[in-house]
Structure 1
């Protein structure tokens, strides 16, 4: 089993390695195709990777507020690869990542695959990675109709996404190639909208854009109803230009097939493998990751909510003439 490396605090308020100053030497073991892509797209080579890992570990060690943090290569490379080995940008993203875990525990902690509520949402087929990749990118497939808005909350929805993505982010192929998202919005109801406040939507999108170490490459939407369009339009308006340009909306399955090879899709959408079979395989993967997922809650950063810039950013007013929810939105 892979051993996570943590940096803990000692009694003097300084951070040390708890008597274990060793860090397992990293060895790049991926295929040549991934090595080439990492060099071309991320500026990654042996020298840059080693220097960047050393610098990021040193930054964690000296950070006055980070009291415990993973320092193993797969974890730190999430941030370095997302930020193309800019150590200052990777450091900022890591700090924000740790901070949002403290600010929003209802979204980012207790990611237990054996939690009965999370397990029920997974079992329903709401969110599952596909078996085949989209030109190297891992495909996350979601179906809004599989999420029961009368039984579960928006916090359940975010925690399921957090649990699934955390189980995938240490995979170095995913770190290098990034992610494609396919979202079937059939079954989306007004009751789904009522789960969310405008502020929560704004904040979760900020978390996705600025604190989640994932390369978001494309987001495909299918079967958008009149109920869903207002919510999606609002969400898109909050994204940066790069992510806006990576959103694609289709009126038919044939349009999706023109963009995505249908062989990689579930059988129900023109592919070859039933979604239920894909789901069973992923549930086994989640179970194998349970200890790692729960261990994430051991990480800790001290936050002064009066001076933390991220707290101020998240608490900004939306500046729109609505009551903070979607309840007054008119749906055509």
Structure 2
């Protein structure tokens, strides 16, 4: 029990009426700056009263859920989902249920996310994916990807997802990011033909659904730069599966100069116009992941009973993508 308390993963208690009043949980201490509190109020409808009531309702729902056996119930974890869903408790509950189910249905993507795993460590050290040290002008965390740093002939799509999952889990408890959201910058100049065969259509569809329905991240902008002509169709296919809201947040750039007109060059790696070399950014963030390693691995202690309705919950019950989708891509606007 002590180990569970230390990681924040709790055996689900029997509901005895006390779970809803918050007395059985550590008190929440807000770490947001006054500016972030204002943004949370304006954008997410969050204030002390709404947050307190939503957390109580969320915890009561978890305690009553017939299939959730173990789950983190600390405020920071639950606020991932509440803030992502602008404090709609039913919507946040649905996202948490999907999140827990996905972790168990797809352990090759979402469990044992260990920076000390040789493949994950090598991919990270190569510079495939790293969050930038400085936030953008809107206070958002920027996650930077370099396709050319990933070897599709040595590593699998599952290992690629595991790196993304590990980095996301290392960030999701940051309150500033829960409120302000995330910006993704993807340099595709090194994407080779190996990437085209890396993903099956079914896996591509499922991971896109995961991004927009089950991952508690507020995706504010996604930038693509230097897309090779032979990769256009792959990216367009993935984009065609996104919601209309996320499609509108995608910006495609012809070159790095165009990217720098949208993203402050000062926060970018030195290789893209900033001042800090990418290698130094990787080293700095790796130290943070090591600090978070135990907490990330402890997420595997969470447990939900998988039922016959799980596939329906995840939206994986309609089979492969309709053949008609392939070739009917939306034309991406390029800056």
The two structures have a TM-score, normalised by structure 2, of: 0.91
Structure 2 unaligned segments of length 5 or more: list them. 327-335
CA distance in structure 2 between the partners assigned to 1:205 and 1:322 by the alignment: 15
The one-character-per-residue Cα deviations of 1:77-116 (angstroms, maximum 9, x if unpaired) are 0000000000000000000000111111111111001111
CA distance in structure 2 between the partners assigned to 1:309 and 1:302 by the alignment: 14
Contact 1:15 1:67 in 2 (8 A): no
Contact 2:311 2:317 in 1 (8 A): no
Superposed, 1:1-16 pairs within 5 Å as: 3-9=6-12
* SS of residue in 1 equivalent to 2:323: coil
1:309 to 283, 308, 312: 312
Q: Does 1:294 align with 2:297?
A: yes
* SS of residue in 2 equivalent to 1:249: strand
* SS of residue in 1 equivalent to 2:316: helix
Contact 1:42 1:84 in 2 (8 A): yes
CA distance in structure 1 between the partners assigned to 2:126 and 2:28 by the alignment: 38
* Number of residue pairs the alignment of both structures matches: 318
1:71 to 52, 70, 73: 73
CA distance in structure 1 between the partners assigned to 2:24 and 2:293 by the alignment: 25
The residue number in structure 1 matching 2:331 is none
Q: Does 1:51 align with 2:53?
A: yes
1:25 to 24, 27, 30: 27
Contact 2:169 2:296 in 1 (8 A): yes
Contact 1:126 1:145 in 2 (8 A): yes
Deviation at 1:316, TM superposition (A): 2.9
Superposed, 1:1-332 pairs within 5 Å as: 3-9=6-12, 22-134=24-136, 135-305=138-308, 308-310=311-313, 313-320=316-323
* SS of residue in 1 equivalent to 2:223: strand
The one-character-per-residue Cα deviations of 1:234-254 (angstroms, maximum 9, x if unpaired) are 000000000000000011111
Q: CA RMSD in A?
A: 2.0
* SS of residue in 1 equivalent to 2:221: strand
Contact 1:305 1:311 in 2 (8 A): no
The one-character-per-residue Cα deviations of 1:209-266 (angstroms, maximum 9, x if unpaired) are 0000000000000110012111100000000000000000011111111111111110
Deviation at 1:311, TM superposition (A): 5.0
* SS of residue in 2 equivalent to 1:180: strand
* SS of residue in 1 equivalent to 2:69: strand
Structure 1 unaligned segments of length 5 or more: list them. 324-332
Deviation at 1:318, TM superposition (A): 1.3
Deviation at 1:186, TM superposition (A): 1.1
